[in-house]
Structure 1
Amino acid sequence: MAVTENVSSCSLSAMWDWSHLSLSGTPPAVTLLDAATDLLVLERNFPGALEMCERGLQIISTEPGERRNNQVKASLVVIAIQALAEMERWREVLPWMLQYYQSPQEIPHNIMEMCLLLYSRVKQPHVMLELSKDWLRGQVTRPSLQYKRVAELHLLNILLPLGHFSEAEDLAVDPRVFTKQQQEAALTAVREEKRRQEEKEAAQIESEQQNQRTLSPSGNVRGKYLQVARLLYRALSAAVTWTRRIPLRNTLLALLLLSVIILRLDPASPASQDPISRLLLLLRQIFGSLFRNR
């Protein structure tokens, strides 16, 4: 089941549909269509092409409905959709198009094909889900080659990426859409996509579990670091609080006495050896007890 993957091919086929219309005259809408095509294809002036299409559609909306007007209208819409897509304004395509087609059944098949390909390419198939389903339901009583092409795109580009496998299987075995050989190919495509998505989901679950197992030890280490940091913070806070409670006068007096003892005693004198030794011993005991507690 070959499916055209190029959106531009739809616009080229649509331009071929209206190319013979100028032979019978050049009404304003057809003239604007010619100008929009030149702006799109030759000058690559996408905003200008969109403007020309909108002007042509305004003219057609004021004229009585004719088959030729419907063809020109469809071609203008196709050119405008192409211009919007080229400007990366694909989000505006569907609401813009629905201004000119009030119901899904009014939308020509080539425009449906173009929209299905566009939203599939930008990874937004859900946008077209309900519209294409409504379009197919409206055309099911008179299936044609164009209906089959839209149904095939709906199956491959909308239902399968969204994981609607039951609907895809029902459509794949519909004899009004596919021949026996095509049904087998469609069912194979459905099974392959279903298997691929199941494998992808299983791989994602395994990856998440592996990440949890890998991060678990580091999480424990991080918890230990946080616990130690909290203890240090509490110890420092307690030390600061204790220091603030001591009067500044007493602290200065203790430092003064300590300096007098150390500076006034001659280290070479035997009389100073005992006090200095006791002071050093006291400092060693204090530091030793601190490190042993840690």
Structure 2
Amino acid sequence: MSLSSRTAAVRRTAAAALAAALLATLAACGDSDSDGDDSDTGAKSTESATGAPKADLTVLAASSLTDVFKTAGAAYEKENPGTKVTFSFAGSQELAAQVQQGAPADALVTADTKTMDGLKADTGTPTVIAKNRLVIATGEGNPEKIENLKDLADTNLKVVLAAPEVPVGRYGEQVLDAQKIEVKPVSEEPNVRAVLSKVELGEADAGIVYKTDAATATDKVDAIEIPDAQNAVAEYPAATLKTSEHAEAAAAFVAWLSTPEAQKLLQDAGFQQP
């Protein structure tokens, strides 16, 4: 065999060996995908089109976020094919208890910074994603002609509030105390949606809820504005949970909540900018 022939044969052999090595590497990467490996190699092959790692995420979220987060979750899943976001809604104090008890979840969004601050050992650094205000919810048409906070002191009215350990209950107590108004509620509820439900069903004449919650039931309740000088500002911090098995994907979702797309959804629902 001539020198040129031997050289060509060597080149063909080397090329075949290189091709075999590349195929073996790709096969290994494929195995990582099927196993859901979150290593650097696997993470690259399990990213969505936007670069966020694919995962099934569980997000614990305050009750007042129920409607907007269902919309936001669908938008996020559409933007990140292969990712599924499941929400668990409850009062922030209930969510905190779930975190402390080790409930499997990836991220947390509360309706106040106090609750989140109490979970520093369990969360990443929180980011405020939205703000909210209080209103007085009454039956449709405001049959009792309630005009302001002082009217809630009328003992002939059935007023329902959230329990003091619930963020909206604490905010309500704060604004009432500031105006030196004493209200004796007929019940104290575990979350803001329970307060709203009582008013919707006619079991209460009025209740203090978030502006965004009242906006979800405009066909059943009226919202009486509380002046800013008498109101309280609710802040909604979001954070990843340190026990998450999908840390990168959870961080990507929390970061997305501050993007223009997510902020528009929140503001369209009546939330204020953070």
Q: Shorter-chain TM-score: what band?
A: under 0.3
- TM-score of the superposition, structure 1-length normalised? 0.21
Hey, which of these two has a bigger chunk of strand by percent? 2
- TM-score of the superposition, structure 2-length normalised? 0.22
Q: Which has the higher contact order (CA 8 A, sep 6+)?
A: 2
Hey, which of these two has a bigger chunk of helix by percent? 1
